[in-house]
Amino acid sequence: MNESSTIDRQLHTDGILSPSIWDGRVFQGRWTSSEGTVIEVREPATGLTLATVGGSTPKTVVDAVERAARAQPQWQAIAPESRARVMQLAATILESNRDTVIDWIIRETGGVRGKAETELNGTIGELLHSAALFVEPEGHVLHSADPDRLSIARRIPLGVVGVISPWNFPLLLAMRSVAPALALGNAVVLKPDPQTPITGGVVLAQIFAEAGLPEGVLQIVNGGAEVGEALVCAPAVRLITFTGSTRVGRRVGQLAGEHVKKVSLELGGKSPFIVLDDADIEAAASAGAWGSFLHQGQICMAAGRHIVLRGVAQSYLDALRQHAQSLTVGDPFREDVAIGPIINQRQIGRIHELVTSSVADGAELLTGGTHETPYYQPTVLAGVRPGMAAYVHEIFGPVAAVCIAENEEHAIQLANDTEYGLSAAIQTASLDRGLRLARRIRAGMVHINDQTISDLPGIPMGGLGQSGNGSRFGSTTNVDEFTEWQWMTLGGAPTRYPF
């Protein structure tokens, strides 16, 4: 560690995140002693225990869902403007606790300060966007067979929404479901990842309680697969929104199907980053490095496959290697670094296995490929070809896997040669060329002259193929996701029938 770059920051423990309020407890509308085990929250960079939260059991999950179901009708009945006010206040409270929450995001997820700031800003954006949802039209006036009867279709809340979220952006990826679900009149039971229950759960519970959300409307349950499955199966849950791996998403979808529930799946990716032979190579290498190394590559939209036309492959690889080698690696809370720790030891093992098996199959290690727990060096693999592990699998680590394409047609073929379809990017000096290729890429999001990682509250975020089941977060698609249709007809006099 470089002494001069050391930043000695103390963890803020005051305000809404004071552990004395919630340490070892679980949020059941108010903080309550846990009937389940207590879950220790560890800092990935140091292994230190940061705090504990109360664990849930399948039985306490069902109780939480029932409490939410009892609280929901009253919440639905209040004026939408009043619900919007709670969202606005929650945004203000989050803003006024900015420094504290950012420190917790850094320590709990291992993300660098810039990542934590982006996550916090995005979360405030989700709240403000949700606060504006009530001005959206609520339905249609339909053609009526009887001119004396009015026929309307209107959107109504679903009831209880179950939210299951991952550890990489725990605050943002929980809030992008929780805020619109609440704003549209639903109650929510949230299950964060057990590695990040503070920024994925405690922060949300605290800011909504301070903002005046009625007791019971938001419940938090803590635990892993068993607790998650209990939430999916709990009878009163009408919609499950799940963000996480495709493997677990399939299981969640299967259970939701068995229990006849709506399910929104936002899953993994292997997003192509295409560099054409007319691209600005330095700009492309910078974007490619950002796309593969931001948050140690632990992002669903990470650039999973760099696809570079042969004519510029060598210059692109040289520039990308330089970017990778310039990145500082270390503890993001105590040092000013670009790359923080990997979330856990198991994930380091998985990254290394994908790298070493690709090298054994003929890929060339240009830089990186080494690790010293909990850090994995930014890695560039050249000569990656179909069939190699780094080509096929989502790596979720700081690894840029570079493939060579002979021409545009080959680039498209390599880009679409995946079961996933989350994001994609193309670097080119010609917008026409970029657009021509972009139209042929099977991905939910495509960026010309940018990289693959981007999300904003006002856009319809989601993936194709095994990256999701067609659900979308953000924009007016939130109304589609978090409400359902009801057809209603009304007449002033009773309809008369022949018998």
Site residues for ligand NAD per CB under 6 A: 164-168, 173, 191, 193-194, 224-225, 228-229, 232, 243-245, 248, 251-252, 266-269, 300, 394, 396, 422, 463
Q: How far apart are CA 316 and CA 105, in angstroms?
A: 34
Task: Specify the residue, 226 or 318, whose C-beta has the smaller distance to ligand NAD.
Answer: 226
Task: Specify the residue, 107 or 472, whose C-beta has the smaller distance to ligand NAD.
Answer: 472
Residues 6+ apart with CB under 8 A from 92: none
**Residue carrying the six token digits 């669903």:** 300
Nearest distance, CB of residue 192 and ligand NAD, angstroms: 6
Nearest distance, CB of residue 496 and ligand NAD, angstroms: 53
Comparing every residue's Cβ against ligand NAD, the nearest one is 228
Contact 187, 159 (CB under 8 A): yes
Task: Specify the residue, 111 or 228, whose C-beta has the smaller distance to ligand NAD.
Answer: 228
Task: Specify the residue, 266 or 335, whose C-beta has the smaller distance to ligand NAD.
Answer: 266
Query: H/E element holding 53?
Result: strand 49-54
Rg (CA), the chain: 24
Query: H/E element holding 149?
Result: strand 149-157
Nearest distance, CB of residue 458 and ligand NAD, angstroms: 16
Query: In one letter, which amino acid is 279?
Result: A
Which two three-digit tokens encode residue 490? 């009304």
Residues 6+ apart with CB under 8 A from 172: 119, 122, 123, 126, 455
Helix/strand/coil percentages in the chain, nearest 5: 40, 20, 35
Q: How far apart are CA 393 and CA 400, in angstroms?
A: 12
CA distances for 111 relative to 45, 76, 318, angstroms: 10, 37, 27
Nearest distance, CB of residue 268 and ligand NAD, angstroms: 3
Nearest distance, CB of residue 201 and ligand NAD, angstroms: 10
The active-site residue, picked from 43, 126, 229, 266, is 266
Task: Specify the residue, 225 or 360, whose C-beta has the smaller distance to ligand NAD.
Answer: 225
Task: Specify the residue, 7 or 225, whose C-beta has the smaller distance to ligand NAD.
Answer: 225
Nearest distance, CB of residue 281 and ligand NAD, angstroms: 28
Tally Cβ neighbours within 10 Å of residue 122: 18
CA distances for 31 relative to 61, 101, 110, 320, 457, angstroms: 15, 19, 27, 49, 30
Task: Specify whether 266 is catalytic.
Answer: yes
Q: How far apart are CA 246 and CA 254, in angstroms?
A: 12
Contact 454, 423 (CB under 8 A): yes
Instruction: Write out the catalytic residue numbers.
Output: 266
